[in-house]
């Protein structure tokens, strides 16, 4: 393993993003560029991009800072969200996937978000400000002296509730700011263009997409659910085993 490869792994393993949007798979093939890793949740329904499915709870992946601390921890966090037909597929540079057309929605808060998700919201009904953990206001809220001063002022009540902030990803009618948003989504945007624009500012990135794929029964039997011209992608268990092996090898090399 060269120093260059080690540097590359460090770069791509420290920047984790989540794409929150709706979209459609198109026929155009796209080669994943250098310095990019894409992780897709392949769900057994018609393909679209979405932030959640009723069967799963994504809060741990989106909120827990330890889940996106490094690539091995991230793989461990998502490894519990797999079944025989519903699982994550991992694609890296030079893999071929189908491009996606992303479209906007009046009720949906689209965007590319750095993990863990952080933000602020105003709960008008209860007259309080809701913040996610890890924000400056949440740290002030935890400090006993500062919190006491805030309670004695005329400011609104502050509540730390990260799950409430993640709920903002699904709706636009609530007043809220997702602090960790790094890109807005424009109607008919292409996934390839979005990733390429991010590469101008981020040296290496891992992007999590929640997608659905549905092939007819004949196509599934012939190709295992993936078309012949598309890279199948690696499953999480195989990738986790591979990365743990690389980490052990790096440690041994450092000892010598």
Q: Mean pLDDT, 10 residues at a time, over the chain (256 residues)? A: 48 78 83 92 59 61 83 85 70 90 77 85 77 75 65 66 78 69 81 90 86 50 54 82 78 68
Distance CA 129, CA 158 (A): 5
Bridge partner residues of 208 (DSSP): 18, 39
**Encoding tokens for residue 197?**
């624009």
pLDDT at res. 2:
44
pLDDT at res. 30:
92
Peptide bond before residue 116 is cis, with ω within 30 degrees of 0? yes
pLDDT at res. 146:
62
Pick from 54, 181, 22: nearest CA to 112: 181
Pick from 91, 104, 114: nearest CA to 30: 91
Residue that is written with structure tokens 């890109």 in the block:
183
Per-domain residue ranges for the chain? 3-116+180-255, 118-179
pLDDT at res. 36:
93
Q: At what angle do helices 236-255 and 71-78 cross, to 10 degrees?
A: 150
**Encoding tokens for residue 25?**
């798979």
pLDDT at res. 37:
93
pLDDT at res. 1:
42
pLDDT at res. 38:
93
Environment class of residue 74 by beta-carbon count within 10 Å: exposed (0-12), middle (13-18) or buried (19+)? buried
Distance CA 225, CA 227 (A): 7
Distance CA 98, CA 40 (A): 12
pLDDT at res. 88:
82
pLDDT at res. 17:
92
Sheet of strand 96-103, all strands in order from the earlier edge strand to the far edge: 22-31, 96-103, 189-190
Q: Between the CA atoms of 19, 86, 75 and 137, what dihedral angle is there, to the nearest 10 degrees?
A: 40
pLDDT at res. 148:
65
pLDDT at res. 216:
43
Distance CA 252, CA 2 (A): 14
């Amino acid at each position: 393993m060269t120093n260059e490869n080690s540097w590359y792994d460090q770069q791509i393993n420290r920047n984790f993003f989540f794409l929150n949007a709706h979209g459609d798979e198109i026929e155009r093939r796209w080669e994943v560029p250098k310095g990019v890793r894409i992780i897709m949740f392949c769900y057994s329904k018609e393909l679209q991009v979405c932030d959640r499915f009723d069967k799963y709870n994504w809060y741990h992946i989106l909120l827990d800072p330890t889940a996106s601390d490094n690539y091995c921890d991230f793989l461990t966090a998502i490894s519990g969200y797999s079944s025989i037909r519903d699982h994550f597929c991992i694609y890296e540079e030079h893999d071929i996937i189908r491009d996606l057309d992303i479209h906007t929605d009046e009720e949906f808060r689209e965007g590319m978000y750095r993990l863990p998700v952080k933000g602020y919201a105003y709960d008008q009904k209860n007259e309080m400000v809701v913040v996610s953990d890890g924000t400056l206001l949440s740290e002030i809220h935890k400090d006993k002296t500062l919190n006491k001063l805030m309670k004695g002022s005329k400011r609104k009540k502050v509540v730390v509730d990260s799950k409430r902030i993640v709920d903002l990803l699904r709706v636009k009618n609530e007043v809220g700011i997702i602090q960790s948003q790094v890109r807005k989504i424009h109607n008919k945007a292409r996934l390839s263009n979005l990733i390429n624009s991010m590469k101008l500012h981020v040296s290496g990135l891992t992007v999590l997409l929640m997608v659905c794929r549905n092939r007819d029964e004949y196509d599934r039997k012939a190709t295992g659910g993936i078309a012949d011209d598309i890279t199948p992608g690696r499953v999480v268990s195989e990738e986790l085993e591979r990365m743990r092996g690389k980490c052990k090898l790096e440690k041994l090399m450092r000892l010598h």
